[in-house]
């Protein structure tokens, strides 16, 4: 939209429900255009799922458990969003808002893969060398034996074999017999020291039985491939910068929306703040609450809106931030950032991508979804820590317990005013299309109205779409 400004027109008022990324973006963009916006946010801070836990952060969940983080200065947990792909509009907002970014290590050859049945963890580099090696051997031998002659010309075969020799590090006989890509027990050194290779490789059928290749495709994802980035100092720097740009006086915190009443020319929102019920009337409303929560807010926008909002399911997810008094994963294991994959209920274990070589640091001890997230979410915070550490010791040994100094966990599906991590939208249904249109003067936005759910990018682009439509309407009605 070329004319995203109210130049020469009366300032319109907009009440924005929810101060997550979508709500803040709506207020920020409308504010730039000259609109007079007020954001109503139920939590004590803006950001919504964009939530960073530092020393002193306090939160009470829906089960009444209160946690206060005791992390040391500089140590933090990005409890929700933690990584940004290069192509995402989130990067442009970081640039525009002056939020410095740094690389987020989303793949690390020296991180581990731990499948419980295999006993010991294996480094990614080792697992990849063996899987790529044996797959290349099989394909090269099938090619040599003419099994692929129906698909391959003689030239194709030559080219494929030359690719496989490099890809799998297989020899001229097309046997995989290991490679220094696997890593070393002792790395090569001075003079005559050639290093000590790792023992192996294991036999072909043991490599496949170990199922170490199950996570190799992750780093190829269009949304997960390196380079990935994070804001310096915590993901909530984005929400904080948006809030500053909007103007803190336009953002009402601890303001829980209770009811929405649309009329032909205005919208009235009632909300509770500091124990008092208040009302706010504006020309327009942008509603960015999670859909399953918006469905519970009484309104007069029609039963179709409520049933459409109710058709978005809420997913469970949890994370625990384990604060350590030393960075033993760097000094002992030589792991600088990245992700260890497990088939334990921990799912993913993350090492920090920032402040390398600092005195202290934090490991994300689990980042899980579904059944595992619900199982951890049902425990007390202390029980979650015990369980996460008990599981992590299997991978990392006793230091995982002995160096621990403090922990903070989140179960998104048990977190007030969110009650879910993300949704899987009913994209192909009339319900989804209904909410892409305004209900009278109420516009909906959030990552749930995008094809980038579970990414801030989705919240940004959805908010931009909503405010663009709102502004077009204002321009067309004069």
**Binding interface with ligand PHE (CB under 6 A):** 83, 223, 454-455
Find the shortest distance in angstroms from Cβ 182 to ligand FAD.
31
Which residues on neighbouring strands pair with residue 76, listed in sequence order? Answer: 54
Residue 43 contact among ligand FAD, ligand PHE, none, beta carbon within 5 to 8 Å by kind: ligand FAD
Minimum CB–partner distance for residue 30 and ligand FAD (Å): 15
Residue 83 has, within 13 A of its CA and on its CB side, a CA count of 20
Cβ of residue 385: shortest distance to ligand PHE, in angstroms? 21
Which residue ranges make up the site for ligand FAD (CB under 6 A)? 17-23, 40-43, 48-50, 80-84, 90, 256-257, 288-290, 293, 317, 319, 412, 417-418, 421-422, 446-447, 454-459
Q: Work out what residue 460 binds among ligand PHE, ligand FAD, none; the CB cut-off runs from 5 to 8 Å by kind.
A: none
Residue 249 or 357: the one with the smaller Cβ distance to ligand FAD is 249
223 binds, among ligand PHE, ligand FAD, none (CB under 5 to 8 A by kind): ligand PHE
Closer residue to ligand FAD (CB): 138 or 258: 258
User: What residue 136 binds from ligand FAD, ligand PHE, none (CB within 5 to 8 A, per partner kind)?
Assistant: none
Q: Which does 414 bind (CB under 5 to 8 A by kind): ligand PHE, ligand FAD, none?
A: none
**Residue number, 309 or 454, with CB nearest to ligand PHE:** 454
Q: Are 277 and 452 in contact (CB under 8 A)?
A: no
CB nearer ligand PHE, residue 244 or residue 371: 371
Nearer of residues 344 and 418 to ligand FAD, judged by Cβ: 418
Shortest CB 477 distance to ligand FAD, Å: 27
Alpha-carbon Rg for the chain in angstroms: 26
> Nearest-5° angle of CA 180, CA 183, CA 185?
115
Taking CB within 5 to 8 Å according to partner kind, which of ligand FAD, ligand PHE, none is near residue 372? none
Buried b (16+ CB within 10 A) or exposed e, 122-136: bbbbbbbbbbbbbbb
Least separation, in Å, of the C-beta of 92 and ligand PHE?
A: 18
Nearer to ligand FAD, 23 or 183 (CB): 23
Q: Report what 49 binds from ligand FAD, ligand PHE, none; CB cut-off 5-8 Å by kind.
A: ligand FAD
Closest distance between ligand PHE and the C-beta of residue 84, in Å?
9
Helix (H/G/I), strand (E/B), else coil: 413: helix
* Least distance from ligand PHE to the Cβ atom of residue 125, Å: 23
Residues 6+ apart with CB under 8 A from 211: 115, 343
Rounded to the nearest whole angstrom, what is the least distance from the CB of residue 452 to ligand PHE in the complex? 9
By a kind-dependent CB cut-off of 5 to 8 A, residue 323 interacts, out of ligand PHE, ligand FAD, none, with none
SS3 for 96-138 is: HHCCCEEEECCCCCCCEEECHHHCCCEEHHHHHHHHHHHHHHH
For tokens 């879910």, the residue is: 420
Q: Are 390 and 382 in contact (CB under 8 A)?
A: no
Residue 42 touches which of ligand PHE, ligand FAD, none (CB < 5 to 8 A by kind)? Answer: ligand FAD
Smallest distance, ligand PHE to C-beta of residue 234, A: 16
436: enclosing H helix or E strand: helix 430-436
In whole angstroms, give the CA distance from residue 107 to residue 87: 18
Residue whose token pair is 């991978």: 395
Tell me the residue nearest to ligand PHE as measured from the CB.
454
Q: Name the residue nearer to ligand FAD (CB basis): 170 or 289.
A: 289
CA distances for 285 relative to 268, 292, 328, 346, angstroms: 9, 18, 51, 41
Q: Shortest Cβ distance from residue 330 to ligand PHE (Å)? A: 23
* Distinct helix (H) and strand (E) counts, the chain: 14, 24
| Cα end-to-end span (Å), the chain | 16
Which residue lies nearer to ligand FAD by CB, 110 or 256? Answer: 256
Cβ closer to ligand FAD: 118 or 270? 270
| Shortest distance (Å) from residue 165 CB to ligand FAD | 38
Give 50 or 340: the residue with its C-beta nearer to ligand FAD: 50
Residue 277, strand partner residues: 272
Quick check: 134 and 362 in contact, CB under 8 A?
Answer: no
Here the contacts of 353-358 (C-beta below 8 Å, separation 24 or greater) are 353/102, 353/103, 353/104, 353/105, 353/230, 354/102, 354/230, 354/232, 355/74, 356/327, 356/330, 357/327, 357/330, 358/74, 358/327
> Which one, 324 or 455, has the nearer CB to ligand PHE?
455
- Cα–Cα distance for residue pair 125/180, rounded to 1 Å: 10
Select from ligand PHE, ligand FAD, none the partner in contact with residue 256, using the beta carbon and a kind-dependent cut-off of 5 to 8 Å.
ligand FAD
Residue 409, contacted partner among ligand PHE, ligand FAD, none, CB below 5-8 A by kind: none
Burial of 251 (0-12, 13-18, 19+ CB in 10 A): buried
């Amino acid at each position: 939209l070329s004319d995203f400004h109210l130049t020469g027109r009366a300032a319109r008022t907009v009440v924005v429900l929810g101060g997550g990324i979508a709500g803040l973006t709506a207020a920020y963009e409308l504010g730039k255009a000259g609109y007079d916006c007020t954001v109503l946010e139920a939590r004590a801070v803006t950001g919504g799922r964009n939530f960073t836990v530092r020393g002193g952060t306090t939160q009470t969940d829906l089960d009444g458990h209160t946690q206060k983080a005791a992390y040391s200065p500089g140590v933090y947990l990005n409890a929700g969003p933690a990584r940004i792909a290069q192509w995402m509009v989130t990067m442009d907002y970081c640039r525009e808002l002056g939020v410095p970014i740094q690389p987020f290590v989303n793949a690390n050859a020296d991180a581990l893969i731990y499948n419980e049945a295999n006993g010991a963890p294996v480094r990614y580099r080792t697992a990849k060398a063996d899987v790529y090696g044996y797959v290349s051997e099989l394909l090269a031998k099938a090619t040599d034996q003419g099994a692929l002659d129906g698909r391959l010309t003689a030239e194709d075969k030559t080219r494929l074999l030359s690719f496989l020799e490099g890809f799998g590090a297989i020899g001229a006989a097309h046997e995989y017999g290991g490679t220094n890509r696997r890593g070393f027990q002792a790395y090569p050194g001075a003079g005559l020291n050639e290093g000590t290779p790792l023992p192996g490789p294991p036999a072909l059928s043991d490599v496949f039985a170990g199922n170490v290749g199950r996570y190799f495709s992750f780093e190829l994802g269009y949304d997960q491939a390196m380079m990935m980035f994070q804001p310096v100092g915590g993901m909530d720097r984005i929400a904080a910068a948006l809030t500053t740009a909007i103007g803190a006086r336009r953002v009402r915190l601890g303001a829980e929306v209770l009811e929405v009443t649309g009329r032909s020319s205005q919208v009235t929102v009632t909300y509770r703040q500091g124990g008092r019920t208040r009302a706010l009337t504006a020309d327009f409303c942008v509603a960015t609450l999670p859909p399953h929560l918006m469905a519970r807010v009484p309104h007069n926008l029609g039963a179709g809106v409520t049933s459409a909002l109710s058709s978005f399911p809420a997913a469970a997810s949890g994370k625990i931030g384990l604060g350590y008094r030393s960075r033993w994963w760097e000094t002992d294991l030589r792991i600088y950032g990245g992700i260890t994959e497990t088939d334990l209920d921990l799912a993913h274990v993350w090492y920090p991508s920032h402040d390398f070589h600092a005195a202290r640091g934090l490991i994300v001890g689990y980042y899980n979804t579904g059944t595992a997230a619900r199982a951890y979410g049902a425990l007390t915070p202390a029980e979650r820590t015990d369980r996460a550490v008990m599981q992590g010791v299997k991978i990392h040994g006793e230091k995982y317990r002995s160096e621990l100094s403090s922990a903070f966990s989140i179960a998104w599906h048990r977190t007030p005013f969110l009650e879910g991590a993300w949704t899987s939208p009913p994209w192909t249904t009339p319900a989804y299309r209904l909410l892409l249109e305004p209900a009278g003067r109420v516009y909906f936005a959030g990552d749930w109205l995008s094809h980038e759910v579970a990414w801030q990018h989705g919240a940004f682009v959805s908010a931009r779409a909503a405010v663009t439509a709102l502004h077009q309407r204002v321009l067309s009605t004069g």
